[in-house]
Structure 1
Amino acid sequence: MEQKLQVGIITATHGLKGEVKVYPTTDDPGRFRRLKKVILDNGKVSVDLEIESVKYFKQFVILKFKGLDDIEQVEKYRKASLYVTRDNAVRLKKDEFFIADLIDMKVVNEDGSPLGTLRDVITTGANDVYEVALDEGGTVLIPAIKECILDVDVENAVMRVHLLEGLLDLQ
């Protein structure tokens, strides 16, 4: 289980006073107002940062970090990811899961026989769709609805599914 969860990616600097433009990778960009700290990771360096201010501009979040007060200090963090610890993550409702916990999960049929590995979660308007790489080759798209997703065991990284008639025929 992932201990850090991505909440955004710094896309650019914003102004001259150390603000950055962040593309939110969370389904609730409003959560940035409640966040106090994030972990910035650009692949080379991982830094804990305290959020000083939050603004919104179109689909972006504008963040200002304490102690980073000019464009020179934040420019090097362009394209860096922002994470929160699991302790600071949003509380999930029943039958909700973090995408990071689902990726690479083993998927089995309702009788327990192996089906494949969950490779991607596609977010659509109505419901998410799970892309499963089949053990036999190929992929299947499974809608994330109660009729199909019978059980998700995050601790053991196993999802039990019921394949609706015709899903495997569409490959």
Structure 2
Amino acid sequence: MTKDYLRVGKIINTHGIKGEVKVLRITDFADRFEPGSTLWVDKKQSNELIKVTVDGHRRHKGFDLVHFQSLDNINEVESWKGSELLIKREQLEPLEENEYYYHEIIGCHVYTTEPLYVGKVIEILAPGANDVWVVEDENGSEHLIPYIEPVVQTIDIEKSNIIIEPMEGLLE
């Protein structure tokens, strides 16, 4: 995957025999999978990007079921299992102030207000009310940092730095 593309989902299986695929969504924007949307299938095993247009979408048991234009047979999409679904970077929608895309946060270095280095954001979990950042320290240990106002003080995307005020017991 080049830097010109961003992940929005992963094809985890086929669904039925008419070319529908089961997608694990990796985006907050559900409209990425609406009919008429353009996506790229990143076939890692063959190192190719395939441009597709969505012509069918529905939710089923927590997953997105997506059908692509002119692909009406399971045999045409069977080899796509495990492939990433991408958008071009220019397809990003502008965000409100103090909102960030996951790819902007992942890789940032986290410091306390002291300042002490906590580690680097390696993953973002979305369990419910707020996101939780998985921060790996220099020893390989992971810390779960809730993305809430009392904890996250400043985010500087240009410098890839985040300052937090840890709650009692957060970094233990």
Shared fold, TM over 0.5: yes
Q: Please tell me whether the aligned partners of residues 109 and 115 of structure 1 are also in contact (alpha carbons under 8 angstroms).
A: yes
Q: Which moved more, 1:5-14 or 1:136-145?
A: 136-145
Deviation of 1:74 (Å): 0.9
Q: Please tell me whether the aligned partners of residues 36 and 55 of structure 2 are also in contact (alpha carbons under 8 angstroms).
A: no
Partner of 2:122: helix, strand, or coil? strand
Deviation of 1:37 (Å): 0.3
Gap change, CA 1:158 and 1:55, over 3 Å in 2: same
Q: Please tell me whether the aligned partners of residues 35 and 56 of structure 2 are also in contact (alpha carbons under 8 angstroms).
A: no
Distance in 1 (alpha carbons) for counterparts of 2:139 and 2:9:
35
Q: Does 1:130 align with 2:133?
A: yes
Alignment partner, residue 59 of structure 1: 62
Q: How many residues align?
A: 168
Q: Please tell me whether the aligned partners of residues 35 and 57 of structure 2 are also in contact (alpha carbons under 8 angstroms).
A: no
Gap change, CA 1:58 and 1:137, over 3 Å in 2: closer
Alignment-mate amino acid for residue 121 of structure 1:
I
Alignment partner, residue 46 of structure 1: 49
Q: Please tell me whether the aligned partners of residues 19 and 63 of structure 1 are also in contact (alpha carbons under 8 angstroms).
A: yes
Distance in 2 (alpha carbons) for counterparts of 1:135 and 1:102:
18
Q: Please tell me whether the aligned partners of residues 6 and 87 of structure 2 are also in contact (alpha carbons under 8 angstroms).
A: yes
2:144 to 141, 154, 171: 141
Q: Does 1:166 align with 2:169?
A: yes
Partner of 1:76: helix, strand, or coil? helix
Deviation of 1:148 (Å): 1.4
Unaligned runs of 5+ in 1: none
Partner of 1:101: helix, strand, or coil? helix
1:17-39: CA deviation from partner (whole Å, max 9, x where unpaired):
32222222223435422661011
Partner of 2:41: helix, strand, or coil? strand
TM-score between both structures, scaled by the size of structure 1: 0.82
Q: Which moved more, 1:129-138 or 1:93-102?
A: 129-138
Which aligned runs of 4 or more in structure 1 are off by greater than 6 angstroms?
A: none
Distance in 1 (alpha carbons) for counterparts of 2:36 and 2:119:
36
Distance in 2 (alpha carbons) for counterparts of 1:55 and 1:166:
42
1:83-103: CA deviation from partner (whole Å, max 9, x where unpaired):
112322344333222222222
Q: Please tell me whether the aligned partners of residues 34 and 55 of structure 2 are also in contact (alpha carbons under 8 angstroms).
A: no
Q: Please tell me whether the aligned partners of residues 22 and 62 of structure 1 are also in contact (alpha carbons under 8 angstroms).
A: yes
Unaligned runs of 5+ in 2: none
Alignment partner, residue 37 of structure 1: 38
